[in-house]
Chain A
Amino acid sequence: MSKRTLVAVFEREADLVRAVVAVRKAGLRIGDVYAPYAVHGLDRALGWRPSRLSWACAFSGLAGAIFMLWFQWWTSAVSWPLNVGGKPWNSLPAFVPIIFEGMVLAAGLGTVFALLVVARLRPGKITTPIAPGLMDDRFALLVEETDAAFDAVAVSELLRGCHAVEVSERVLEDDSPPLGEARDAARTRWRRRLNYVLLLVLAVVVAMNFLALPNPSQPNREFLPDMAHSPAYTSESANPNFPDGETLQRPVLGTLVQGQMPLHYAATDDEALRAGRELHNPLSAKDVHAGERGALVFQTFCTPCHGGGGQGDGLVALRGYPAPPSLVTGNTTKMPDGQLFHIITYGRVNMPSQSGLLSPHDRWAAILHIRSLQTPAAPKPTGAKP
């Protein structure tokens, strides 16, 4: 069944409003009105109910607010509770600004989306003008022919009486688009083709994602530096910023090594005797850990010359290097700990200084081990190897 509509075109807003009132008084049905701007008071003349889009606004705003309230609570108090300045996990007052912003964002976007849906507006929709100038300076009134009793001539006269500049009749078939809208077969076909191309591109991209699997044994491709490489000089690299050209600078003269006190002794025999009078082993013979450490130090640093038992029969001595005196007999047994410490630190005769190799603690521990070698009756510390 086809549908007939009378289209009346007006040049003045007042004529349009007058025609709307007259048509309604005559009991006819108004299909729609077209205007280049929102005519003030026309909705009252048409008797249309206020739009229900305010509900869309209210609901989407409420949804946005509730979501942001829940989301902030869930992330801050449940998913990963983060202690910030001892504030409670659920610090509700601090969540208020974002709840508000979430509400406004959701309400605004939701309302506009609802408008686009109910008004059937969408990007790229094609329209045909019902009459020329409707987007510029003309107004149109559409009167629908509802039944057979509709007298098109009389209604036209009524509309012309309200200063309609043009009245025409449109016939709308069932399968044709509504008035003012159009179907463009060529453009639809073109769009469908574009859609297929985009779908193909999507499929190729997804397929490539599976073809090019990530290789966990290789670092990812680096397209932004992201601090992966330090611009700083490494300690052994050449450095043009220092006069000596080295990155790792020597400490200033007189700098103390952390944890080491300076020894105020000269490298002479007299000073060794003085050290023997003044220095005492801070470690106790009963200290099992120190004893074990001493055995290890002795085995590593002393056995090559002094031998495992301290008798001066180390491998170096056996190969012809002047043998050191025995540590377990004679003079050494009478030396006080402090003198031994001085000898280890500064060296004597053929023995070089060990201060660069052994920390003071290790030197004292080694002396503990020498004492244990000198008194074989005493039980040897466990773990000490010959």
Chain B
Amino acid sequence: MKPAKEERSMAEASLVHLPPLVVGDKSLADVTRDICAPMERRPTGLWWSAFVLSSAVLALGVAAVTYEIATGIGTWGLNRTVGWAFDITNFVFWIGIGHAGTLISAILYLFRQKWRTSVNRSAEAMTIFAVMCAGLFPLIHMGRPWMAYWVIPYPNYRGPLWINFRSALMWDVFAISTYFIISLVFWYVGLIPDLATASARARPGWRRRLLEFFSLGWNGSYRTWHRYELVYLLLAGLATPLVVSVHTVVSFDFATAVLPGWHTTLLPPYFVAGAIFSGMAMVLTLMLIARKVMGLEDYITHRHIDPMCKLTLLTGSIVGLSYIIEFFTALYSGNTYEQFAAVNRLWGPYGWCYWVMIGCNVVAPQLFWFRWVRRTLPVVFIVVILVNVGMWFERFVIIVVSLHRDFLPSSWTMYFPTSVEIATLAGSFGLFFTSFLLFCRFLPVIAMGEVKGVLGHGQANSTDEPTP
């Protein structure tokens, strides 16, 4: 047994500086019990108050959208010059939020980052709910959303007249629907073993029936695990280029236009970095709330918060660099219109939006250079809220500020959102948080199967010896 002992001490030495991912010295059974607990007990008062609040906001949004569809797009503040404003800003904002979920679940899986196991399930759920919110905005913007199926190519009695596959908006339809479906499948595949665990514990009744139905007869067979691991890896490998392609295609909506401020090759990488930046901020926001509301402090620890803060800092700095490159492009192009668009962002009538964006996206995340900031959760919470606000303003600056003063000074105008638009934006947050709270209530928030794998209990190099 000597070589094994040596191996063990080496492994301990490599781990000596890192606190455990999950604190409280949990056994495998503890993990199951703790994570299934929120599904099995009655919801707490905190959960109820959050749920009532978010569904009230959702109801406000539903009322606003109902009024808008019944009356027409005229209820928004759009005009002939600014034809895209709040709706597309919100669309890009929500799509971007989703990207961090895929980053955590797919890209960090490929990089074998063990800390992702505690947050990947809820980050993926966040992706799905964010893409749902995002998809609503173009749908509402159509004016007659019941005609939305016209964007899908299907044999019809109009010729058949097909959709125009050369349009960036069409690429968007395909990219976002693919992203939604693959994210949903990835999430569900990850859920199957945990649903089986939960159904084995559940009391007989309709909830157990449902859990059984959706766990597809999973019984923990290693033959299935063996294949499952490969499928999970393949899905991660597919989702990684997909997530990059989705925000690239979203940026094409702008980059393929000739408008100064949009027409630049910088947009795709800039959008992808910005998406992951905003998404990281939203994951942190949700995690900080969820660990308090759902009592998961032992599972979401500094070992999880800290790398997410660092990723926020990294992507935030990339975004800051992109802002500088944008100005360099305008300067170096020698193009009057480009230069005007750049100056108009800074000192034009919407200049304050630009400075809010710089303050929130470039300056605020720099606090994450300091270790004590990353460890002081209230400060982290404030910073990530600022980033959320800043990233919303970034999209507003790109879309509205570029549109409102184009080549033709006679068409220059201002855009102001109406109460209907603001209520719709609020309603999308209501939808997002309502869905997330329901998810916390009815599904395992943390991937039990994955957390158990990284606990280190009972493994060859662990310290606990079996009872003889």
Binding site for B on A (CB under 8 A): 11-15, 17, 32-40, 42-43, 46, 48, 50-51, 53-54, 57, 61, 71-72, 75-76, 79-80, 82, 84, 87, 91, 94-95, 97-98, 100-102, 104-105, 107-109, 111-112, 115-116, 118-127, 129-130, 133-137, 163, 180-181, 224, 226
Q: Is the CB of B231 within 8 A of A112?
A: yes
Report Cα–Cα, A30/B144, bound state, in Å: 61
Report Cα–Cα, A289/B235, bound state, in Å: 79
Given A14-B458, A121-B224, also A127-B238 (CB < 8 A): no
When each residue 5-28 of chain B gets 1 if its CB lies under 8 Å from chain A and 0 otherwise, what string results?
000000000000000000000011
Nearest CB of A to B183, in Å: 10
Given A126-B212, A180-B219, also A98-B449 (CB < 8 A): no
Q: Which residues in chain B, 181-235, are within 8 Å of chain A measured between CB atoms?
A: 181-182, 185-186, 189, 192-193, 196-197, 200-201, 212-214, 216-231, 234-235
Counting from the closest, the 8 A-B pairs by CB-CB distance are A125-B217, A12-B458, A137-B28, A33-B222, A75-B162, A121-B216, A94-B166, A97-B171
B161 at the interface (CB under 8 A from A): yes
Report Cα–Cα, A125/B230, bound state, in Å: 22
Return chain A residues, CB-CB under 8 Å to B175.
97, 101
Nearest CB of B to A106, in Å: 10
When each residue 429-457 of chain B gets 1 if its CB lies under 8 Å from chain A and 0 otherwise, what string results?
00000000000000000001110110001
The closest CB in chain B to the CB of A94 belongs to B166
Given A13-B459, A14-B459, A94-B165, also A115-B231 (CB < 8 A): yes
Q: B162, B164, B220, B235: which contacts A135 (Cβ < 8 A)?
A: B220
Return chain B residues, CB-CB under 8 Å to A57.
234, 238
Q: Which residues in chain B, 143-181, are within 8 Å of chain A measured between CB atoms?
A: 144, 146, 153, 159-167, 170-171, 174-175, 178, 181
B252 at the interface (CB under 8 A from A): yes
The closest CB in chain B to the CB of A50 belongs to B230
Q: Is the CB of B161 within 8 A of A80?
A: yes
Report Cα–Cα, A318/B200, bound state, in Å: 110
Given A111-B235, A119-B227, A127-B219, also A36-B165 (CB < 8 A): no
Q: Is the CB of A98 within 8 A of B165?
A: yes
Return chain A residues, CB-CB under 8 Å to B46.
none
Return chain B residues, CB-CB under 8 Å to A180.
219, 221
Q: Is the CB of A181 within 8 A of B217?
A: yes
B411 at the interface (CB under 8 A from A): no
Can you list 16 A-B contacts with CB-CB less than 8 angstroms, sorted by A residue number?
A15-B466, A33-B221, A35-B225, A38-B228, A51-B227, A53-B231, A71-B153, A79-B160, A80-B159, A82-B164, A104-B182, A104-B241, A120-B217, A122-B216, A125-B216, A135-B193
Return chain A residues, CB-CB under 8 Å to B229.
38
Binding site for A on B (CB under 8 A): 27-29, 32, 144, 146, 153, 159-167, 170-171, 174-175, 178, 181-182, 185-186, 189, 192-193, 196-197, 200-201, 212-214, 216-231, 234-235, 238-239, 241-242, 245, 249, 252, 448-450, 452-453, 457-460, 462, 466
The closest CB in chain A to the CB of B158 belongs to A80
Q: Is the CB of A123 within 8 A of B213?
A: yes
Report Cα–Cα, A75/B462, bound state, in Å: 61
Given A180-B219, A181-B219, also A137-B242 (CB < 8 A): no
Q: Is the CB of B220 within 8 A of A36?
A: yes
Return chain A residues, CB-CB under 8 Å to B212.
124, 126
Return chain A residues, CB-CB under 8 Å to B200.
129, 135-136
The closest CB in chain B to the CB of A132 belongs to B200
Q: B153, B201, B216: which contacts A75 (Cβ < 8 A)?
A: B153
Given A53-B234, A84-B164, list of 8 further CB < 8 A pairs? A14-B460, A35-B220, A37-B225, A50-B230, A80-B159, A101-B174, A109-B185, A127-B196
Q: Is the CB of A112 within 8 A of B185?
A: yes
Nearest CB of B to A176, in Å: 16
Return chain B residues, CB-CB under 8 Å to A127.
196, 217-219
Return chain B residues, CB-CB under 8 Å to A136.
28-29, 32, 197, 200-201
Q: Is the CB of B230 within 8 A of A35?
A: no
Return chain B residues, CB-CB under 8 Å to A46.
222
